[in-house]
Chain A
Amino acid sequence: MRNPFAFQCGEFRVRYKDDLALYKVPRVRRRVLFVLGLFFLYPLLATPYYISLATMAAMAAIGAIGLNILTGYTGLISIGVGAFLGVGGYTSAIVTTHLGLPFWIAVPLAGLVTAFVGALFGVPSLRLKGLYLAMATLAAQVIILFVIVRWEGLTGGTAGMSLQRPDIFGYRLASERSYYYLVLVCLIGTALFTMNLFRTRVGRALVAIRDRDLAAEVMGINLFKYKIYAFAISSFFIGIAGALMGHYSRIIGPEHYDIEVSISYLAMILIGGLGSVIGAIFGAVFITLLPVVLRESLNLLTPILPHLAEHFSALRELVFGLMIILFLIYEPEGIVKMWRNLKDYLKLWPFSYSKK
């Protein structure tokens, strides 16, 4: 019982509910809500171009969180994200155009179909691990893309397909702003689900598999079952992201889903921070904005070095590769670690040392 005559100092958890909360400290909870509020206010202040950048980053973040479930939390490397995004995008496109189902059914359906395909390509994980499993997902990438290109009757082959922006109560979400809100809500849902997933039995089992798969098996975790879960859950969100992207850009084709897409998603979770939801979001923002920032800085440099802008695509590759290598060498735990270091620094200021 709290003494009514004394000032309260520190954090007291007096109910089980407090102990189980996602954010246990009220100040942190308020800060999270404040930041979320800022995200909802953002489109009221920004121009459509900046809203579209944020929308693309948020869609990438959904996919990156999905990949992080598989690669960051469960330790199964996947080089097939691009193709799984494609499965999501094409499922939604096929279901809405050929069957005429509404967007609100098509997108979850795209998630489910991608989850199924992902689980199917997760089956080799029964016997494969490490590099060999990574190659099985690379095979998924190549095989799925081949099917998409060759099954012209269903997917339109290399010509691709066109999609529609969704309707809600007769109102078309055609403006940048309305689609931003839709994607933001999906991202918040994905993040909340994933954060909570790793507080449950299934999530703990996945982390145990990452840390030492044989030890996990000895402790009674059915490796095969949980690895398939990891593939399915991860692919579900990647499929949702793919469907959202398809409806956003309104046109999809095989070239949107090639191996480079897979690699940029791997880069997102590595640069952001493996095994962290907020890290996946940071990474998605970083990789989405990297070419934009590069383009802007090239434009600034044009008066000095006029020929530099011609090499934009080569420079983009160069900077992308350089970023991956520099992050891996100097901050292997990603932006999330840099963010934590910054917070620690501010917390301890003006004392530079910390009790580590």
Chain B
Amino acid sequence: MDFFLQLLVGGFVIGGIYALVALGFVLIYKSSDAINFAQGEFLLVGAYVSLTLIATYNIPLLPAIIITLAFSALLGLAIERLILRPFIGEPVISMIMATIGLASLMAGVVHMIWGTELRVFPPLFSSDTVHMGGVVISPVYLWALAIVVLLLIVFSLFFKFSKTGIAMRATADDQQAAQSMGISVKSVFAVTWAIAAIVAAVGGILLGHINGVNASMALIGLKVLPVALLGGLDSIQGAIIAGFAIGIIENLAGGYIDPLVGGGVKEVVPFIILVIVLMMKPYGLFGKQEIERV
């Protein structure tokens, strides 16, 4: 029973980070109908920048994080302007390949600057574990969970009430109608990429504190894709629910099935769930059904 609870709690925290990163996918899909395959690289850049600020320049945690987020936002804006704007309205495959190309480009730059070996953040939280009814949790996990939940709430409110959030939702719904109502679709795209880069950077910093930072971190971008699809590519609540669900299921599967087959189950479980769900609900659990007419 304790083992089960332990897996459950661990899965819950990782699931929160998945939800946060999946939010980045959903935002970009909603506003521009594209999947950003470079989301994992955004994560990597965020983690490395904050690591460099903290470890090399000895900047305190909070200012370092603020600088990192500002940097990520600028990076998102620059990339949208320089690379992705020519692809508005292009076929799906151009958009996919452009972001794959972007991912490769960013990975190359990151490897040149920071190398590929594992680097760890200086310990920030006490290493004393917290005991809660037989479950052992390290404080990093609790902090991560708190930050993720806070951010998810902030973003939900942002989309519901702020002017920019409403403009983003309008653009997602119908680009032409939004434009004719005076919303600048271009600036909405720019804001979208900036926010996607920021959520990725937060995810990167949190994961970096949990596992350390190295090049393989970018793979989480590919791992979160099934999460975004499972929830439905254009549903923010879907991303959050699917994030927590996949995190918990994969941790449980890892705990119970790994010993039977010899490891690696965590990597495939999200994809198996994805294929099964997509066969039954082609637009994910909460995605919008598109009705096509000839």
In the assembled complex, A221 has its CB within 8 A of some CB on chain B: no
Q: Kindly identify which residue among B96, B112, B222 contacts A315, using a CB–CB cutoff of 8 Å.
A: B112
The answer on a CB contact under 8 Å between B101 and A328 is: yes
When chains A and B are docked, how far (Å) is the Cα of A146 from the Cα of B275?
Answer: 15
> Mostly helix, strand, loop or mixed at chain A's interface?
helix
Q: Kindly identify which residue among A127, A316, A332 contacts B279, using a CB–CB cutoff of 8 Å.
A: A127
The answer on a CB contact under 8 Å between A132 and B282 is: yes
Q: Kindly identify which residue among B87, B112, B282, B284 contacts A314, using a CB–CB cutoff of 8 Å.
A: B112
Q: Which residues of the partner chain A approach B283 to less than 8 Å between Cβ atoms? A: 132
Given contacts A124-B278, A128-B282, A212-B294, contact A319 B108 (CB under 8 A): yes
Q: Which residues of the partner chain B approach A232 to less than 8 Å between Cβ atoms? A: none
The answer on a CB contact under 8 Å between B83 and A316 is: no
Q: Which residues of the partner chain B approach A142 to less than 8 Å between Cβ atoms? A: 267-268, 271
Distance (Å) between the CB of B234 and the closest chain A CB? 11
Stretch of B12-20, B161-169, B196-204, B225-233 at the chain-chain interface: B225-233
In the assembled complex, A135 has its CB within 8 A of some CB on chain B: yes
Given contacts A218-B294, A270-B97, A325-B83, contact A318 B112 (CB under 8 A): yes
In the assembled complex, B98 has its CB within 8 A of some CB on chain A: yes
The answer on a CB contact under 8 Å between A214 and B292 is: yes
Contacting B at CB under 8 A, from A288-326, are 311, 313-325
Q: Which residues of the partner chain A approach B104 to less than 8 Å between Cβ atoms? A: 263, 317-318, 320-321, 324
Contacting A at CB under 8 A, from B76-107, are 83, 86-87, 90, 92-94, 96-98, 100-107
| B-contact bits for A131-166, CB 8 A (1 contact / 0 none) | 110111011001100100110000000000000000
Q: Kindly identify which residue among A124, A134, A135, A317 contacts B105, using a CB–CB cutoff of 8 Å.
A: A317
In the assembled complex, A106 has its CB within 8 A of some CB on chain B: no
The answer on a CB contact under 8 Å between B108 and A317 is: yes
In the assembled complex, B262 has its CB within 8 A of some CB on chain A: yes
When chains A and B are docked, how far (Å) is the Cα of A243 from the Cα of B57?
Answer: 52
| A-contact bits for B1-43, CB 8 A (1 contact / 0 none) | 0000000000000000000000000000100000100000000
In the assembled complex, A274 has its CB within 8 A of some CB on chain B: yes
In the assembled complex, B274 has its CB within 8 A of some CB on chain A: yes
Given contacts A131-B92, A131-B96, A150-B264, contact A325 B102 (CB under 8 A): yes
The answer on a CB contact under 8 Å between B96 and A134 is: yes
Contacting B at CB under 8 A, from A23-79, are 71, 77
* Candidate in B94, B102, B267, B268 with the most chain A CB atoms within 10 angstroms: B268
In the assembled complex, A259 has its CB within 8 A of some CB on chain B: yes
| B-contact bits for A227-265, CB 8 A (1 contact / 0 none) | 000000000000000000000000000000001000100
Distance (Å) between the CB of A142 and the closest chain B CB? 5
The answer on a CB contact under 8 Å between B97 and A266 is: yes
Distance (Å) between the CB of B9 and the closest chain A CB? 26
Q: List 25 A-B contacts (CB under 8 A).
A: A77-B96, A128-B282, A131-B233, A135-B225, A135-B226, A135-B278, A139-B226, A142-B268, A143-B271, A146-B268, A214-B293, A267-B100, A270-B93, A311-B111, A314-B111, A317-B105, A317-B108, A320-B104, A321-B105, A322-B101, A322-B105, A324-B100, A328-B94, A328-B97, A332-B94
Given contacts A270-B93, A324-B98, list 10 more A-B pairs with CB under 8 A: A127-B282, A128-B278, A134-B92, A138-B222, A146-B267, A150-B262, A267-B101, A317-B104, A321-B107, A324-B104
Residues of chain A touching chain B, judged by Cβ–Cβ distance below 8 Å, are 71, 77, 124, 127-128, 130-132, 134-136, 138-139, 142-143, 146, 149-150, 212, 214-215, 218, 259, 263, 266-267, 270, 274, 311, 313-325, 328-329, 332
